[in-house]
A and B are shown apart, each in its own frame.
Chain A
Amino acid sequence: MIDRRGLLKTAAVAATGALAAPRLSLAAGSKTLRFIPQANLANLDPIWTTQYVVRNGSLLIWDMLYGVNEKLEPQPQMVEGHEASGDFKTWTFRLRPGLKFHDGEPVLARDAVASIDRWMARDATMGGVIKKRLDALEAVDDRTFRFRLSQPYPKMLFALGKSSTPTLFIMPERIAATDPFKQISEYVGSGPMRFKRDEWVPGAKAIFERFDGYVPRGEKADWLSGGKRIHFERIEWQIVPDGATASAALQNGEVDWWETPLPDLVPLLRQSPNVAVDISDPLGNIGSFRINHLYPPFNDVRARRAVQIAVSQEDYMGAVVGDDQSLWRTLPGFFTPDTPLYTEFGGEPLKGKRDYELAKKLLADSGYKNEPVVLLVATDVAITKAQGDVTADLLKRIGVNVQYQALDWGTVGQRRAKKDPPSEGGWNIFHTWHAGADCVNPAPYIALDCSGPTAWFGWPKSDLVQEKIAAWYDAPDLAAEKQAIKELNKAAMDHVVYVPTGFFKGYQAWRKNISGVVKAPFPVFWDVTKA
C-alpha cells in the first residue's frame, strides 16, 4: 500500500511538475510541525479566558517571568534574579538583558508591570490576593520592577509562574493596557514563536512561525522552564474536532502530533507502525460533579450527600475514558494522586458499594419534593458529555426529577456563572474537570475554595473548609502541611464541596519520526524534532 501511495505521489509530481513540488516538499520537510490541539483556538487572550487551549497557544507567543519545571517548582524564565525582603513584603525583580518583542521593541519593566496589572484583575486565586495586599507595583528602571505589599506574600514566585489559568504572560504595555474584561486584538509577545495572524483561520488552523530574535536561556528545557529552543520554522495547529478524522489523519501521516486522542481509538493507533502513543500528562485530571450550593435541594448537605454516596466513579471513568483501566482510578479525595499531599482521609462516602436506598432516604430527609433539577451538559466536549449522561442516569435512579439541558461548552461557561434560581436560568449541576497540576495543593485549587459568594461556580460556603485551607498556608513544614490537607480533605468531603468523579489520564499520539515529546499538562514544543 505504501508503494501505491508512493506511486501516486510520483504521478502527482510528474503530472503537475513544479507547481506541486513546493507543497510536497513543504509537507514532507522537517521544518514544519503539524499539530492537532485539544480544542479550537477561538481567541488568543490568555487573561480574558481560562481555556487551557488558549494558554497552550500563548505559551508559544508570550514568555513568562517564571516557568514551572516537572516538579511544579517555579524557575526564573524572563527574570534574571529577584530579591525578597525578609518579611516577604517587598519583592524586586530584574529582567534578563536582550529580551525582545516580536515587533523588535525591547521588553521593559513597565511592560511587565502592565501585564501583571491586567492579570491580577482576572486571576481570582493568587493574582487577586496579591492585588488586595498591594501597596505599589512600579518599574524602578527599564529592567527592574518592584512589588510593595501591606501583608507578606511568601508564595509570590508560585503566583508569577503558575501554569494554571489565567497564567501570567508578559505583553507589551500597549496591549496589556487593554481592559481586562475585553479581548486583546494584537498578539505580539516575546516568546519563541510569533503568531501568523494573517494565516489564522479560527476553527480550522493557527500558524506559528519561529521568532529568530528569541534568546533562550542556557539551561536545558524542563516543562516551562529552561531554554525554549524551537527546531521548526513553522508550527501549524490544525483544528480537527472529529476524533475519527483526526485519528485517520495521523495514521495517514497528514499530521505529526495529536494532543488528545480518544482512548477508544488508541488500540487502532498502536497498530499503526508509524505512530507512537503515550500518556500525555502524568498529573492527570480530576473529573468534577459540580453542585450549586445556593438552591434546593442541594443547599442542604443531606441532598449533596445523597448524590455523593450514589456516585459510582467506575461508571464515570468507564464512560469518560473507556475500557483501558491503566488510564484511570477511583479517587476518594480531592487532591492529585501520587503527589506529596495526596490523602484519602475522609473519603469513605465514595468507596464501596453504592447505596441508592440510603440516597433516596437522605433526599427525602432534605425535603426534596420532586422539583426539577437542572443539569447543564456541554455536549460538544466528550468528557463533559459522558459525565452528564452518567449523572442523568444516576439521578433518575435515586428518584430525582432531572432536567437535562444540552448545551455547548461556551454556553455552559456563561450559564454556570449565573446565580439565579435554577428555574430562572440558573442551574443545579454541571460537569467539568480540573487538571491534576492545579489540584496538588489549595493555592491554585479554585474549585475547593469555600468562601461562599466569591468562591468558584456553585458558591460553596464552609468556614471549616476555609479554616483548614488557612491551616495549610500557615503550615511550617511538610508534616504540618500533610496534616492540614488530611483534615481539609475530610472537611470538604463532609461538606460535599463537589463530588470528584475519578482521576484519569489522557493519551497523546505522534508520528514516530517526531522525537522529544514529553509528558506534561500542556504540549511542550521546545526540543521536539522531526526526522
Chain B
Amino acid sequence: MSVTTPDFAAAPDLPAILPEAKQRGRILGFIYRHPTICVGGLLVGVMIFIAIFAPYLGTRDPTALAPSKRTREPSGLYWFGTDMLGRDVYSRVLYGSRVSLIVGFSVALFASVLGTFIGLVSGFIRGLDTVIMRAMDGLMSIPPILLAIALMALTRASVQNVIIAISIAEFPRVSRLVRGVVLSLREQPYVEAAIASGTRVPAIIWKHILPNTLAPLMVQATFICASAMITEATLSFIGAGTPPIIPSWGNIMAEGRALWQVKPFIVFFPAIFLSVTVLAVNLLGDGLRDALDPRLAKRL
C-alpha cells in the first residue's frame, strides 16, 4: 500500500471548544487556547493518580474472594458492588487502571522507539529502504487487533506479552511516519548542506531529524496509547489478553458479561472508566496535535 500514509495522527482536529479570548494570565490563556489538552490532561492525570494511589483510596484486596458475599448491588459498603466471586468491584476497577495505563504507556513508548529506529534506518540507508518498507507493508496489512490476537495465541497470557503483541501490531505505522519525515527533511537545503559538509549521520539525526520528528511522534504516540488500551481490553474480553487473575478492565468485563442482564454494574463501571480514559487520551492527542503542529491537521 503505497499511498496509505495518513492515519489517526493525521486525523482532523477537534473544534476549539472555547472561543478565542483575551489572555488572562498565562495559565488561563493556555486553557483557552488548548482546552482539549487541559481536559484530556486533567482526566489522564486523575487516572494516573488513581492507579498510583489505588491502595489508599478506600480499596481492599482486589483479588480477595468472598463467595458468601457475591453479586451484591452497589452500596455504602461496596461502592461498585461485588462480582460473582464476591470480590469488590470498586477495588478491582481502581487497580485495573494500573493495567490499562501500563499497557497504554508502554506500548506507546515501545512502538515509538522501535518505530523511530526502523524509520530512521529506512530513511537513511537507501539499500534497506525498500526491504524494510515492504516488510512494514506486510505487517500493516494484518489488522492490528487480529495480529495481536494471533501473537497472543502463541504465548502464555501475561501483561508483558500483551504489551509486546500490541507494540508489534502498532510500530509499523510509526516507522512509516518517521521515514516520511526523514525523506522530506533530507531534501531541505540545510540538511543537504550538513551532509555535504561531512557531518556524521548520528549528529544529523540528533540535530535536525529528531527535533522535527518529535511533534508528530508525540501525537502519534498518544493515539497509539489510546488504541492500545482498547486493544488490551478487547483481548482480555475475548479471553486472549491479560491473565484473568489480574484485575484489568477487560477482564472484569469479561467475567461480568454473562450477568450483564441482572448485574449490569459489574460491566458498567469498568466500561465507564475505560471509555473515559481512552477519551481523555484521545482529547490530549487532538490538543497536542493542534498545539504542536497546526499544519498537520490540514496535511492530508
Contacts and interface: CB of A to CB of B under 8 A. Distances in A.
For this complex, into which size category does the number of interface residues on chain B fall?
Answer: 20 to 34
B262 A315 contact: no
A393 B64 contact: yes
A322 B84 contact: yes
Interface in B231-245: 239, 243-245
Interface in B59-105: 63-65, 67-68, 70-71, 84-86
Contact of A244 (B67, B85, B239, B258): B258
Contact of A392 (B67, B245, B258, B260): B245
A242 B257 contact: yes
B156 A264 contact: no
Contact of B243 (A316, A380, A404): A404
B71 A323 contact: yes
Given A244-B258, A262-B258, A264-B84, A393 B244 contact: no
B156 A405 contact: yes
Interface in A231-266: 242-244, 247-248, 262, 264-265
Contacts of A404: 243, 245
A404 B251 CA distance: 15
B261 A268 contact: yes
Nearest to A408: B239
A393 B62 CA distance: 11
Nearest to A316: B67
Nearest to B158: A406
A319 interface: yes
Interface in B105-123: none
Nearest to A319: B67
A300 interface: no
Contacts of B85: 319, 386, 389-390
Contacts of A315: 65, 67-68
A80 interface: no
Interface string B259-283: 1111100000000000000000000
A386 B245 CA distance: 11
B271 to A, nearest CB: 14
A267 interface: yes
Interface in A291-318: 314-318
A42 interface: no
Contact of A389 (B65, B68, B257, B260): B65
B210 interface: no
Q: Dominant SS at the A interface?
A: helix
B194 interface: no
A393 B245 CA distance: 10
Given A318-B86, A323-B70, A393-B65, A382 B258 contact: yes
Looking at B84, B86, B257, B259, which has the most chain A CB atoms within 10 Å of its CB?
Answer: B84
B296 interface: no
B157 interface: yes
Nearest to B70: A318
B157 A393 contact: no
A69 B40 CA distance: 67
A416 interface: no
A248 B259 CA distance: 11
Contact of A379 (B63, B156, B239, B262): B239
A385 interface: yes
Nearest to A390: B65
A244 B257 CA distance: 7
A389 B263 CA distance: 20
Given A268-B262, A382-B258, A386-B84, A406 B67 contact: no
Contacts of A393: 63-65
Contacts of A380: 239
30 contacts: A242-B257, A242-B258, A243-B258, A244-B257, A244-B258, A262-B258, A262-B259, A264-B84, A264-B258, A265-B258, A265-B261, A267-B262, A268-B262, A314-B68, A315-B65, A317-B67, A319-B65, A319-B85, A379-B239, A379-B244, A386-B84, A389-B65, A389-B85, A390-B65, A392-B63, A393-B63, A404-B245, A405-B156, A406-B157, A406-B243
Given A243-B259, A264-B263, 7 more contacts: A244-B258, A244-B260, A264-B258, A268-B261, A317-B67, A380-B239, A389-B65
Interface of A: 242-244, 247-248, 262, 264-265, 267-268, 314-319, 322-323, 377, 379-380, 382, 385-386, 389-390, 392-393, 404-406, 408
Interface of B: 63-65, 67-68, 70-71, 84-86, 156-157, 239, 243-245, 257-263
Closest 10 CB pairs of A and B: A318-B67, A243-B258, A393-B65, A319-B67, A404-B245, A315-B67, A406-B244, A406-B243, A379-B244, A244-B258
